[in-house]
Chain A
Amino acid sequence: MPSPQFLDRFATWVADRPDTPAIRWREATITYRDLDALANAAARELVSAGLRGDDRVGVSAGKSPELVALLIALWRAGHTVMLPSHDLGSAALRMLAKAAGVTRLVTPSPVLSETTEPVGVHHVPSAGDSLLILTTSGSTGVPKLVPLSPKGVDNFMCWAAGTFDIRPGAQVLSCAPLNFDLSLLDVWTTLASGATTTLVDPRFATDGSYLAHTLDTEKITMVQAVPMVYRLLADLSIGPIRFPSVRHLVLTGDATPPKLLPELVRMFPRARRYNVYGCTETNDSTMYEIIDTTERKLPIGSPLPGVHTQVISCDGDVVEGSGSGELWVSTPFQANGYLDPIATRERFVRDPADGNTVFYRTGDVVYRDDDGVFTLEGRTDFHVKVRGARTNMAEVEHVIQRHPDVREVAVVAVPDELAGNVLHAVVCRREGSSLNSLKLREVCREGLARTAIPTTITIVEEALPKTSTGKVDRKAVLSRYTERI
């Protein structure tokens, strides 16, 4: 929870309950006192590395207690921190750092290596009082930068701690990488609440038996994860397969496969189960408590307390009562906009009715029933979820298209039980070129997050199928090329 209030509350726990475990990591315990000491050590390293008070800092690192401590140290010193995906390619990272006005890139201890000054930062866009800038998939080839508002994150911390009983004694599992907004709950709300967060080792994040062992031995009380994690657990037949310590279970980030629903009750017999919907820009917006075991498409539920919603038809009209349209939300947790004011104007709109409420256009198409319960129907653009990460297929195409030997490219998504979606790229190469999938993977590696790199890249010589308006026909691409994969 990157806010002055978070730092105050964390300091209170360090003073009042220094021996309480703050983090469990690879079977070691880091108490609140230990974490405070790590943060102090990181602060000293930052000073000796010559970090200036007005530096805007980029941190790209895998999840670890040292990274948590480094972020606390940076916030204490008043730095605004950009935290992009750790597996972002180096070219994409440099581009993002430049767009964010990042003047220093740092990595956590034990060796605070390579504090480098990226070249060409001329302009540091205002981030207001934000201490943390997260990234989210954009449509122009560069992820959008979301400076979180401290007031928004304080509101979120208050709601999440109360709803999921996050307080001293709670054991919260942290599955997601630290740059995902899910960590606002798993890590930062936990540390603001005197509870313990168990960090899933990123090396084993998709290893079902490791996850089961962790849930069991750490006596986890609260889990929030994408459906894939529960699928990995449900597929196990040996080792721990029931987790009665779990009291609150949140599914989020993706549609849940209907077959998984009865399995959740089997695995988590004492947990309240919720489907939660939100995005980085607004944080959690709607929630649905699952009280049965019926195999069906889950609703995303009703607006959380303080959340306002509107459903806007494709003609731009407000839908009253039941009906379908794009979901607009206004939450007590939301960011004030993107770092880029032009992007902000596109997605954050003021309600013409009261001129006051700022709605975020989610780009998600929903159906609202007579009781005000929402169900997700799809996207208005080219976004899909891949292993829980929102991925813009247009952006993947854009990156592949940059290779000079690419004549045309289409990226399509095929639904997958485990990954949510699997991406396939079909590339028509220039005549006579020797372009192959390995060369294109190098391009993807430089410019995309790991989850956005297509699983298969098929090279063809013939032109891709087109619609009557001359655009690449993704449906035809899907049926012509992906059926033989």
Chain B
Amino acid sequence: MPRSDEIKAWIVRNFAPDVDPADLPDDYDLLASGLISSLSLVRLVSGLAAEFDVDIDAADLRPEYFRSVTSITEFVGAALQPQA
């Protein structure tokens, strides 16, 4: 399971290069703040899938899964669980 600081570093590198990853709070609302827009969500998801080597189904493209570092960490963690 990826740690939230890995997710943070990746988000900052791609969407807020001026920010120190440690300054991005776990619960910062990425959607309401416009850091991730409905159009860049696709870029976020495909980037996450490549970076953390997970399969993300198009049906999972619910914005609420990607609202914060916490929710992304949970989502990627769940996607990495071996399927039964």
Give residues in A with beta carbon < 8 Å to B.
87, 203, 205-207, 209, 387, 418-419, 436-438, 441-442, 444-445, 450, 453-455, 457-459
Contacts and interface: CB of A to CB of B under 8 A. Distances in A.
A418 B39 contact: yes
Interface of B: 16, 18-20, 23-24, 28-29, 32-35, 37-40, 58, 61-63
A419 B24 contact: no
Contacts of B39: 206, 387, 418-419
A436 B40 contact: no
Contacts of A441: 33-35
Given A436-B23, A450-B32, A458-B18, 11 more contacts: A87-B32, A205-B38, A206-B38, A387-B39, A436-B18, A437-B16, A438-B16, A441-B35, A445-B33, A453-B34, A455-B40
B37 A442 contact: no
Q: Interface majority SS on B: helix, strand, loop or mixed?
A: loop
A455 B58 CA distance: 23
Nearest to A427: B18
A50 to B, nearest CB: 31
Given A438-B24, A458-B18, A459-B18, A203 B34 contact: no
9 cross-chain pairs, A with B, having the tightest CB-CB distances, nearest first: A453-B34, A441-B33, A206-B38, A459-B18, A436-B19, A445-B33, A437-B16, A445-B32, A437-B18
A87 B63 CA distance: 14
A444 B34 contact: yes
Contacts of A453: 33-34
A206 B40 CA distance: 11
Nearest to A207: B61
5 contacts: A87-B32, A203-B63, A206-B39, A444-B33, A455-B40
B18 to A, nearest CB: 5
Contacts of B34: 441, 444-445, 450, 453-455
A59 B52 CA distance: 42
A436 B23 CA distance: 9
Given A207-B61, A455-B37, A438 B19 contact: yes
Contact of A209 (B19, B29, B58): B58
A209 B18 CA distance: 35
B34 to A, nearest CB: 3
Contacts of A458: 18
Nearest to A232: B39
Contacts of A436: 16, 18-20, 23
B42 to A, nearest CB: 9
A206 B61 CA distance: 11
B9 to A, nearest CB: 14
Contact of A203 (B20, B35, B40, B62): B62
Contacts of B16: 436-438, 457
Nearest to B12: A438
Contacts of A444: 33-34
Nearest to B37: A455
